[in-house]
C-alpha cells in the first residue's frame, strides 16, 4: 500500500506532455470547479513542488484589463493545493488556514504560479496538528514576480 494520494498517483499515470497535463487539469477542475475560473494547467507536480499556468482571458480581467488580484489568489491556491496533494501522505490530512498575499506588480499577461517548499517535512514526526507554510510565487510572461502568497495549511495525522 502506498502513502501517495489518488491525486498524485493520477498525475504519475498520465504522460508528461501537454495532453497529460490537460487531462489532469480537467480532472482537477471537475473535482474543484472553482479552480476552473482561472483555466489552470498543471505543468509540474512532485512532492514539494507544483507549477501551474493560467492564461489571461476576459473572465479574469479587472477594471483596468489586467489579471484580477483575487484570480491570482485562486491560481496560488491551485498551486498550493496540488503541491499538498503530492506531498502530504495519506496518513495525514491538510486544509488551508490562512493566506498572506503581496501584489508586487500589475499582471498584464498570463501567469505561472510556482509553489515550492524549502524542504519536505518528516510527516512521521507530525503527531499533533502543525502549520505548514507553502510559499507561492506568481510570475508574468516576462518572468517578473507579480504576486507572492504564503499559504498556511494545517496538517494533522488522520
* CA gap 84, 8 in Å, rounded: 10
The model's pLDDT over 51-93, given as tens digits with 9 standing for 90+, comes to 999 999 999 999 999 999 999 999 999 999 999 999 999 999 9
User: What is the CA 132 to chain-centroid distance, rounded?
Assistant: 14
Give CA–CA dist 20/15, Å, rounded.
5
Grid cell in block for residue 19: 495532453
Report, as an integer, the average pLDDT of 138-150: 98
Q: Among 11-15, 59-63, 102-106, 152-156, whose mean pLDDT is lowest?
A: 59-63
For 88-121, the pLDDT digits (tens) are 999 999 999 999 999 999 999 999 999 999 999 9
Nearest residue to 103 via CA among 154, 155, 68: 68
Please provide the average confidence, as pLDDT, over all residues in the chain.
96
0.85 surpassed by pTM: yes
pLDDT of residue 44: 98
Measured in degrees and rounded to the nearest 5, phi and psi for residue 96 equal: -65, 140
Amino acid at each position: 500500500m502506498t502513502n501517495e494520494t489518488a491525486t498524485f498517483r493520477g498525475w504519475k499515470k498520465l504522460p508528461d506532455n501537454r495532453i497529460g497535463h490537460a487531462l489532469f487539469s480537467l480532472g482537477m477542475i471537475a473535482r474543484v470547479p472553482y479552480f476552473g475560473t482561472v483555466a489552470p494547467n498543471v505543468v509540474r507536480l512532485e512532492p514539494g513542488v507544483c507549477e501551474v499556468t493560467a492564461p489571461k482571458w476576459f473572465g479574469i480581467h479587472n477594471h483596468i484589463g489586467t489579471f484580477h488580484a483575487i484570480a491570482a489568489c485562486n491560481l496560488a491556491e491551485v498551486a498550493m493545493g496540488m503541491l499538498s496533494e503530492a506531498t502530504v501522505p495519506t496518513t495525514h490530512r491538510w486544509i488551508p488556514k490562512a493566506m498572506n498575499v503581496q501584489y508586487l506588480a500589475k499582471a498584464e499577461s498570463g501567469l505561472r504560479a510556482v509553489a515550492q517548499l524549502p524542504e519536505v517535512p518528516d510527516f512521521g514526526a507530525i503527531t499533533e496538528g502543525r502549520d505548514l507554510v507553502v510559499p507561492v510565487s506568481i510570475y508574468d510572461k516576462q518572468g517578473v514576480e507579480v504576486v507572492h502568497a504564503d499559504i498556511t495549511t494545517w496538517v494533522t495525522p488522520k
